[in-house]
Amino acid sequence: MAKDKPLRPKARLPRGFRDRSGAELAAERRMLDTVRGVYESYGFSALETPAFEYTDALGKFLPDIDRPNEGVFSLRDEDEQWLSLRYDLTAPLARYVAENFQDLPKPFRRYAVGRVWRNEKPGPGRFREFTQFDADTVGSSSPAADAELLIMVCDVLKALGLAGSDFALKVNNRKLLDGVLDAARVEPSRRGVVLRAIDKLDRLGLGGVRDLLGSGRKDESGDFTRGAELEAAQIRIVEKFLGSAPPDPTLGNLERWWADIAPGHEGGAAQGLAEVAQIFALVDHSGHQGRIHLDPTVVRGLDYYTGPVFEAQLTFPVTNEAGEAVIFGSVAGGGRYDDLVARFTGQAVPATGISIGVSRLMSALMSRGALTLAEDPLVLVLSMGDVARAFELAHQLRQAGIRSEAYVGTKRIPDQLKYADKRGAAIAVLEGEDERAAGTITLKDLALGLELAKSIETRAAWVQERPAQTTIGRADLVAEVTRMLGRQS
RNA sequence: GCAGCUGUAGCUCAGUUGGUUAGAGCGCCGGAUUGUGGAUCCGGAGGUCACUGGUUCGACCCCAGUCAGCUGUACCA
């Protein structure tokens, strides 16, 4: 007879999602507080919008029968309306601005931090749920708004502990990309493919991009990707644009540069060149001028960008948990999107914004040693058959601002100490019958004990020596714990 | 979606040319130790060998299909 086995669900995390806890969350919180502080100091105010939006407010399409969740997580409301989880924080901002347009001051400046969701295939370092931290200026067409964001991002990265030489901001302009495609006479239907190919430059290198602009490219698994089928002459023009940029982007230098790349097409890109020149003129006085460069290879995948685009890149190698070097994309990116609000109102509203990828930036900071996984130290009060007394001692420590936990489990003392170890507790507090009779308390410095344990061979010796352990007067509890915590830190 | 690789205990993995009752380490539970962490020792629980079908006297092993995972690539408003 077969064993009756109840049908149980398998405990498993949906792919592309993550559980996070304790020290990691504490570190993230510290980082977000720093970013928030800089954003607020520039006069941006917080705005929170919900996780769900009506699907038509988020993008161009409605889910269809065949692929109801293409790219986004969607569901149908009771009244048959499609809702979707937001895939970024910019689309909800556009909705908010359109809905409250007449009441908002212009320019309207807000920051937003929150989780976003994408229903896509997850990969290494790519999740289906992640956090973004955005700042946007809506209602100003001035390049000053773009320049300000670039300067602010530099301030953020420095406030987070990165050195100036650790990062670089790369600036480009969609109008220049459009201009060069005009000059190369690339058909409108192929422009998307071409821009996406250029966007892959950092990953595939110039050779890979050349293949994608031309006949196509085979990846390392042998799969073939079709190319944009451009003529050699067209590819040459695009490559010339990608490979050269004046180091000092004054308007005069930019115009000379452009005349060399796209002679006869000076008019089409003039606006873009002027915007670039203005941005760099403003950046010049920021103290961050060495960190911000013109880089024609920056595209940004999203096609709603209409003018300046930018991304923050790290200049040092980042390693993953396995210690391998990883190709690290940008930690922040953004640009100008002048048409997004017009989708709702019909009225053109210029806007520009920057978005920080929170988990990427966090692993970069940890890789650099600028952020460490750490929680406040924990003091564990062991329960020696008198939980009320453990509560009381823990309470005394809390009153002094010390994070302390009274043991509320049911195990014996050796197991309680093992528990304290596993929790990573800094100190264990014991007050049993002997101590109570003597009016004393025993403290164990667990971190110190862990060190000493390496040189003690036998359990008997360990028990006899009782390393890193002291017995103190009852009244000295808070003072002595404070002293021990001070030694550890 | 396309391509390659991989599915054996909670985790990481062994498993001989196809041979009887499928193993190890870690983790977990109990004990050596009713008030002292580490180490060590003893004992225990835990398996639809991803699933379905086929070949065979006999399949964890060979074949086909399906599903799942990983990696690359495409898409990413």
Confidence of residue A68 (pLDDT cuts 50, 70, 90): low
Rounded Cα distance between A384 and A387, Å, is 7
A130-158: average pLDDT = 97
Name A119's bridge partners: A71
> How would residue A60 be classed by pLDDT, with cut points 50, 70 and 90?
low
Find the Å distance, CA of residue A12 to C1' of nucleotide B40. Answer: 35
Q: Which of A11-15, A134-138, A355-359, A396-400 has the lowest mean pLDDT?
A: A11-15
Average pLDDT over residues A233-257: 94
Amino acid A64: pLDDT: 53
Cα separation, A400 vs A475, in Å, equals 13
Residue A352 has pLDDT above 80, yes or no: yes
Through-space separation of residue A217 CA and nucleotide B1 C1' in angstroms? 17
DSSP string, A410-478: ---HHHHHHHHHHHT-SEEEE--HHHHHHTEEEEEEHHHHHHHHTT---HHHHHHH-TTEEEEEGGGHH
- The reply to whether omega before A107 is within 30° of 0 (cis) is yes
Subset of residues 91-130 in chain A with CB less than 7 angstroms from any atom in strand B = 118-124
> Does A181 have pLDDT greater than 60?
yes
Q: Greater confidence, A461 or A397?
A: A397
A40 three-state secondary structure: helix
Q: What is the CATH number of domain A379-488?
A: 3.40.50.800
Residue A462 pLDDT > 90: no
Residue (of A421, A427, A412) closest to A381 by Cα position? A427
Could you tell me the CA-to-CA distances from A170 to A226, A257, A401 in Å, in that order?
29, 18, 45
- Residues of chain A with pLDDT > 70, as a percent, come to 94
Q: Which nucleotides of B are covered by protein (CB under 7 A)?
A: 1-4, 33-39, 68-77
Predicted confidence at residue A5, as pLDDT, reads 45
Which superfamily is assigned to A22-51+86-186+230-368 in CATH? Bira Bifunctional Protein; Domain 2 (3.30.930.10)
Question: Two tokens at A366?
Answer: 């940890």
Residue A414 CA to residue A173 CA, distance in Å, equals 65
Contact A265, A183 (CB under 8 A): yes
Strands laid side by side in the A82-85 sheet: A52-54, A82-85, A74-76
**What's the pLDDT score for residue A454?**
74
**Sequence-ordered alpha helix ranges (H) in A218-310:** 232-243, 251-261, 270-283
Q: Tell me what pLDDT residue A1 has.
A: 31
Domain residue spans in chain A? 22-51+86-186+230-368, 379-488
Cα-Cα-Cα-Cα dihedral sign, residues A134, A135, A138, A144: negative
Please tell me the predicted confidence (pLDDT) of residue A8: 64
> Look-up: residue for tokens 């507080």?
A33
Q: Is the CB of A413 under 7 A from strand B?
A: yes
Task: For residue A445, give the nucleotide whose C1' atom is nearest its CA.
Answer: B37
Q: Is the CB of A76 under 7 A from strand B?
A: no
Q: What is the pLDDT of residues A162-173, one digit of tens each?
A: 999 999 999 999
Q: Judge residue A380's burial from the number of C-beta atoms within 10 Å of its C-beta, 0-12 exposed, 13-18 middle, 19 or more buried.
A: buried
Average pLDDT, whole number, for chain A?
89
Average pLDDT over residues A138-166: 97
Q: What is the mean pLDDT of residues A295-300?
A: 94
Q: How many Å apart are A8 CA and B10 C1'? A: 15
Which of A207, A17, A44 minimizes the C-alpha distance to A137?
Answer: A44
For chain A, the residue count is 489
- 3-class DSSP assignment, residue A382: coil
Q: Name the nt closest to A415 by C-alpha to C1'.
A: B37
pLDDT of res. A414:
87
For residue A445, say whether its CB is under 7 Å from any atom of strand B.
yes
Alpha carbon distance A316, A331 (integer Å): 12
| Nearest nt (C1') from A120 Cα | B76
Q: Name the closest residue (CA) to the C1' of nucleotide B34.
A: A412
Residue A81 banded pLDDT, cuts 50, 70, 90 = confident
Whether A366 contacts A27, CB under 8 Å: yes
Spatial distance between the Cα atoms of A264 and A246, rounded to a whole number of angstroms: 19
- Burial bucket for residue A459 (CB in 10 Å: 0-12, 13-18, 19+): exposed
Chain A window 288-307, residues with Cβ within 7 A of nucleic strand B: 301-304
The separation, in Å, between residue A48 CA and nucleotide B2 C1' comes to 40
ipTM: 0.84
Instruction: Say yes or no: Cβ of A437 under 7 A from any atom of strand B.
Output: no
- Side chain identity, residue A229: E
Mind giving me the DSSP string for A84-133?
A: EE-SSSHHHHHHHHHHTGGGS-SSEEEEEEEEEE-BS--BTTB-SEEEEE
Of A12-21, A210-219, A382-391, least confident by mean pLDDT is A12-21
* Within this chain, domains A22-51+86-186+230-368 and A379-488 share the same CATH topology: no
For residues A472 and A430, is the Cβ–Cβ distance under 8 A? Answer: no
Cα–Cα distance between A194 and A364 in angstroms, integer? Answer: 30
